[in-house]
Amino acid sequence: MATKLYVGNLSFNTTETDIMDLFKTVGTVSECSLITDKFTQKSRGFAFVTMSNQEEATAAISQLSGKELDSRALTVNEARPREDRPRGGGGGGGYGGGGYGGNR
C-alpha cells in the first residue's frame, strides 16, 4: 500500500524534480506534490511524496530526514491526515467606537 510522506524545511528554490530525484534513490515514487502559494505560485517550503509501499517509506524517513538539499536539512516523516478546519471569513472588524469626542 502506498504511503504518503511529508517533506519540510525545503528551500524556496527546490523543485518537484529535485525532490523526486532524491526520493527515487530510496525507492519507487508514486507521486510528488510541491505545495505552492495559490496567489504567487511560489513554493511554501514543503511537499508531499508518495512512496509505493511502507518499507520504502520507512527507508526514506530514516535515510533522508536531516539530509541536506539546497543547503537545508530536510524534515521527513509520515504525513498525517488533513484536519478539518472550519471555513469562514475572519469575523467582525468595524469600529469599536467608545468614548471619543465630546467637550471638556
Q: Which domain CATH number covers 7?
A: 3.30.70.330
Give how many domains the chain has, as a whole number: 1
d(CA 86, CA 61): 31
Is 62 inside any structural domain?
Answer: yes
Range of the domain at 55: 3-78
Is 44 inside any structural domain?
Answer: yes
Q: How confident is the model at residue 98 (pLDDT cuts 50, 70, 90)?
A: low
Question: Terminal CA-to-CA distance of the chain, rounded, Å?
Answer: 76
| pLDDT at residue 96, as a whole number | 58
The 10s digit of each residue's pLDDT in 24-66 is: 999 999 999 999 999 999 999 999 999 999 999 999 999 999 9
| pLDDT at residue 62, as a whole number | 97
Is 9 inside any structural domain?
Answer: yes
Is 91 inside any structural domain?
Answer: no
CB 20 within 8 A of CB 50: no
d(CA 7, CA 9): 7
What type of residue sits at position 92? G
Is 103 inside any structural domain?
Answer: no
